[in-house]
């Protein structure tokens, strides 16, 4: 049977460089992303950044882009459905 003892001195390289973001940093992040054009640019920068210190912000920015894409697809679908329904009503 393999020894399951893990040396407490061993810390993976990625774990040494990561730090948690403070509440104030998250508040600033949310305020920045609430500004229409500035927020979109910040999301792009954070999503493509390779800074290991702010990995949670990078993952959050990628998740925001996924949600934005889902909302965009749903909005286009709803506009198409309701637009065609209104067009049919106006033809009568």
Q: Work out the percent of the chain whose per-residue pLDDT is above 70.
A: 80
pLDDT of amino acid 58: 92
* C-alpha to C-alpha distance for 42 and 71, rounded to whole angstroms: 19
pLDDT of amino acid 30: 94
User: With 80 as the cut, is the pLDDT of residue 92 above it?
Assistant: no
Confidence of residue 13 (pLDDT cuts 50, 70, 90): low
Tokens of 40: 């979109």
DSSP string, 9-57: T---HHHHH--PPPHHHHHHHHHHHHSHHHHHHHHHHHHH---GGGHHH
**In the 8-state DSSP scheme, what is residue 3?**
-
Confidence of residue 53 (pLDDT cuts 50, 70, 90): confident
Asked if residue 77 lies in contact with residue 85, where contact means CB atoms within 8 angstroms, the answer is no
């Amino acid at each position: 049977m393999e020894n399951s003892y893990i040396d407490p001195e061993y810390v993976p390289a990625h774990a040494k460089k990561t730090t948690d973001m403070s509440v104030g940093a998250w508040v600033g992040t949310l305020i920045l992303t609430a500004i229409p054009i500035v927020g979109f640019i910040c999301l792009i920068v954070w999503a493509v950044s390779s800074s290991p210190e702010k990995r949670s912000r990078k993952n959050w920015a990628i998740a925001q882009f996924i949600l934005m894409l889902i909302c965009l697809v749903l909005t286009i679908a709803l506009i198409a459905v309701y637009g065609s329904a209104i067009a049919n009503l106006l033809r009568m």
